[in-house]
Structure 1
C-alpha cells in the first residue's frame, strides 16, 4: 500500500492496494471504521525500505487508536480465566471487547488534526529486533525439522504438543529472571538487564498473587498455580489461538501438505499478532498463508469471535466488504459528517507521502 502511494516508487504495483487505501481512508473519515495500529505494525515497518512512510500511513488510518501490547492483553486474559476458575464460572468465557484493549475511544469521532511525535527509538529497536529475529529463525527451522520428522500426526496430537511447548517456554522465561536475581544475590557476575523482571516472570508473579487471595498457604499457592498452568491455561484466548495456529502448521508439515521452507522467522510475530487481536476485529487482512490457516478446519469452527478474514486470495471480496459498509449507512450519517467536517473532508489523502510545503 505504501508503494502505491509513494511518489518515488517507479515499479508497477497491484492497483488493488491503491483502491484499498482509497476506501479505507474514506470510510475512516466517514467515521464508519477504525483501523487500530499496534506494536506489530511498528516492528515490521522498521525493516521495510520506507519505515517512516509506513508509519505515516498506518497512523493516518488509525488516527490515534492503538491496540495494547500483546503481553498486556495476555495478562488481562489470564487474570480473567483465573477468576472464572476460582469462581467456578465457565472456562473460556470472556467479557472483554475491543474497547478494553485500545488506547483511545473507537466510537469517538476524529479530530481534524492528528499530531504525532517521532521518538527516535527506531535505531536501537531495530538492532534488538534483528537479534531476536536471528534467534527465531534458528528456532523455527528446528521446529520445522521436528514437525517434518513426525509423520502423519493429527491436529489433536500437535495441539497438545504445542501447548506443552508454550508452557515450557513461558516457565523458562520466568526462570531466567529468578536465576539472574539469585546470581546477583550470591555476588556472581550477571548482566544487570537480566535481573529486570521479564514479561513471563511478571505474569507468573501475578498468577501467584491472585491465588494468594484465596489461600495464604505457600505450598497451596504453588500447587494451584501449577494446576492452573497445566490444566487451565489453554482456556486463555491468546494461548488457545496461538497453540492452534502452530498446531495447524505442524499438522500440515507432518502430513506433507506444506513444505517446511514455506515458513520463516516472521511466522512467530504473525501468530502473536493474530492470537492477540483476532477476537477484537470485525475484519482482518492477512497474508495468504495465515488467512488460509484461519479459513481451514479445525480453526474455522474452533475460534470464538472469528472475524471476516481476507487476503490477496479474496481481495475483491475485501473491496466489496468495504463498499457494503458505506452502502448500508443511513443518508443522515453522511449529512452529519459533512456538517461537522466540511465538503471535501472524505476525499482520500492520495498525497499523504508527497513532500509537504
Structure 2
C-alpha cells in the first residue's frame, strides 16, 4: 500500500477551494477569521481576498459559577455520574453549538473571578470559562452600580425623572457581535496569591448575612420590615462604604500594601462621592454646601428605584419571609454573590442560570409584581425550559450565518 504524500505545512487551513487566480484545485484556504472578516489565501500563488461576514445579534446569558463548574468537570472528565449528568451533558452540547453558531455569549464577571480564585483548580476552570463563553467579560458589578447612580444623581440635580437604558452592550467590555477568532490563545496566570484574601472576604460576607438573619429573627422582621429597612439604607450604606474603604487603607498602610491603599481613591465608594460632589459643584452648589447636598441626595426617596438596590432589597425581603415561615437553614457563604449578580445583570441580559434558592426568591409574588427586568431566570428546577431556550436560540440561526459558521468552525 502506497502512502499518500502529506500536504506540506501552510498557515492556511481547510476547507480548501480552487484558487480563483492560479486555478490550483485545493489551493485556497482560510488564513484567518474573526471580527467581521474571513480571510482566504492561496498556498501556491499567495493570492488572497477577504469576505465580510454576516452581521450578528448574539444573545447574552449569565451562567453562574456552579454552572461553569459543572461544564468544566464534564470537559475535564472529572464529573461523577448523578441524576443531573444527562442535563449538564445536553446543556454543554447546546451551549457549544450556539456559541460556534455565533448566536450566544456567556460572559465572565468579577463574581466568577472571585469564585474561581478560591477554587482548587482555578487555572483550568478559568480556561474552561474562556473556552465556553469566549473572551468577552461583563464590566464589574460595582461599575454597573456607579453607572446607575450617575443617572439618578443627574436626575436629582436637574429635577428630572431618572431615565435608564438597559442596553446589554453597555455592560460588556468588548464588542458583542463580532465573529469568534478561529484561533484562541490563552495565557496562564497564577491567581493563588490572591486566594487567601478573597476567601477571607467571602467568609466575612457569609458571616454578615448569617448575623443579619439572626437580627431579623430576633426582631421578628418579615418581608415588609426588611424591605423598608433595605430601601431606606442608601445613605447609611454610602457612609459604611467610605468607612470600610478607610479601614482597608489603614490596614494597607500598616502592611505596606500599596494596592490596598490605592483602593481608597479608586474604589467605588470614594469614586461615587467624588462624582456627586463634582456634579453638584458644576450645577452651581457652593463648596461650603456640597456635603449637605450630597447627604440630601443620599436621603432622596428616588434612590429606592435604583435597579441594583431595589432587586437586592426585594430578594433579601423574600429571604426574610422564608425565615418568618419556618425556614431554618441559612444560605451559603456565596449567597450574596449570587444576589449581587442578579441585581446587577438581570435588567440587561437575555437570560440567567442561577441557583435554585435565588430563583425561588424571585418567584415570591411581591418580587414578581415589583421587579421588572429583561432576563429570563432559569435554575436546575427549570432545567427542561433552559434546554428548550438554548435549542430555540440554535434553531433561529440565520442560514447565511450557519453556512459561514460551518466553514470557519466546522459546526
TM over 0.5: yes
CA distance in 2, matches of 1:116, 1:159: 44
Question: In the TM superposition, what are the counterparts of 1:126-137 in structure 2 within 5 Å?
Answer: 126-137=195-206
Q: Which has the higher contact order (CA 8 A, sep 6+)?
A: 1
Q: Which runs of 5+ in 1 are unaligned?
A: 347-357
- CA pair 14-178 structure 1, distance change in 2 beyond 3 A: closer
Bigger mean CA offset, 26-35 vs 228-237: 228-237
In structure 2, the partner of 1:147 is 216
Cα drift, residue 10 of structure 1: 4.9
Q: Is the 8 A contact 1:215 1:221 kept in 2?
A: no
The corresponding residue for 1:240 is: 310
1:111 to partner: Cα distance = 1.1
Structure number with higher strand proportion: 2
Does the C-alpha gap of structure 1 residues 150 and 60 become closer, same or farther in structure 2, counting only changes over 3 Å?
same
Cα shift at 1:223: 2.2
Alignment match, 1:329:
397
Which one of 275, 295, 302 corresponds to residue 343 of structure 2?
Answer: 275
Report the alpha carbon displacement of residue 235 of structure 1 after superposing the two structures with TM: 2.5
Note the residue ranges of structure 2 that are not aligned, 5 or more in a row. 1-70
- Separation of aligned partners in 2, 1:180 and 1:37: 27
Shift of 1:144: 1.1
Post-superposition shift, 1:279? Answer: 1.2
CA 1:190 to 1:338, structure 2 compared with 1: closer, same or farther past 3 Å? closer
Matching of residue 161 in structure 1 with residue 229 in structure 2: yes
How many Å separate the matches in 2 of 1:165 and 1:97? 27
Correspondence for 2:294 among 222, 225, 231:
225
Structure-1 separation of matches of 2:246 and 2:377: 41
Number of the residue aligned with 2:10: none
Match of 1:58 among 126, 129, 132: 129
Structure 2: how far apart are the matches of 1:17 and 1:167? 43
* Residues 291, 310 of structure 1: 8 Å contact kept: yes
CA contact (8 A) 2:146 2:268 kept: no
Equivalences, count: 333
> What residue is the counterpart of 1:95 in the other structure?
165
Give CA deviations for 1:98-129 in whole Å, capped at 9, x if unaligned: 11111111111111122222232x11221111
Extract structure 1 runs of 4+ deviating beyond 6 A: none
CA shift digits 1:56-96 (9 cap, x unpaired): 221112211100111112111111111222233323x3024
How many Å separate the matches in 2 of 1:41 and 1:115?
20
What displacement does 1:135 show?
1.7
Q: Alignment RMSD, CA only? A: 2.5
Question: For 2:187, which of 117, 126, 144 is the aligned residue?
Answer: 117
Distance in 1, Cα, partners of 2:86 & 2:112:
22
* Aligned partner of 2:381 among 313, 316, 319: 313
Asked if 1 retains the 8 angstrom alpha-carbon contact of 2:206 and 2:332, the reply is yes
**Preserved CA contact (<8 Å) 2:145 2:344:** yes
Q: Output the CA distance in 2 between the equivalents of 1:276 and 1:62.
A: 19
Structure 2 contact 235–295 (Cα < 8 Å) conserved: no
Contact 2:117–2:198, Cα closer than 8 Å, also in 1: no
Q: Give distance in 1, aligned partners of 2:397 and 2:326.
A: 43
Q: Which moved more, 1:309-318 or 1:34-43?
A: 34-43
* 2:139 and 2:173 in contact (8 A); partners too: yes
The question of whether the paired residues in 1 share the 8 Å contact of 2:108 and 2:138 is answered with yes
Structure-2 residue corresponding to 1:16: 87
So what's the TM-score if we normalise by structure 1? 0.85
Task: With the length of structure 2 as denominator, give the TM-score of the two structures.
Answer: 0.74
Higher helix share: 1
Contact 1:35 1:61 in 2 (8 A): yes
- Matched position secondary structure for 1:262: coil
Whole-Å separation in 2 of the counterparts to 1:177 and 1:257: 37
Q: Alpha carbons of 1:247 and 1:219: their partners in 2 closer, same or farther (altered >3 Å)?
A: farther
For the residue of structure 1 that corresponds to 2:347, the secondary structure is helix
